[in-house]
Amino acid sequence: MPIYEYQCQSCGHEHEALQKLGADPIVICPACTKPELMKKISAAGFRLKGTGWYETDFKSGTKKNVAGESSAPSVPKAGSSAAASSKSD
């Protein structure tokens, strides 16, 4: 079941509710009890990585595997504070 976010148009209270897909939206604000609660549009809180239909079926062109991409580890520059502190010994 998805978690929906709501915000009251009257008092500004924000509310999250775990509801079935077919459930009616909540309209009564739990904080001020006015029928001013509106459903917010928000993104999912997770990202699918790895191999699977979601990776191979929705890629286009030269896009690469998101899970297989890795950036090189960052190396401190000569002028950085980490390099300066090691020279002071």
Domain residue ranges of the chain, discontinuous segments joined by +: 3-39
CA 23 to chain centre: 23
CB 49 within 8 A of CB 66: yes
For 14-27, write each residue's pLDDT tens digit.
999 999 988 999 99
In terms of pLDDT, which residue wins out, 84 or 55?
Answer: 55
For 45-83, write each residue's pLDDT tens digit.
666 666 666 555 556 666 655 555 555 555 555 554 544
Model pTM?
0.49
DSSP string of 21-69, one letter each residue = TTSPPP-S-TTT--S-EEEPP---S----SSSHHHHSS--TT---TTT-
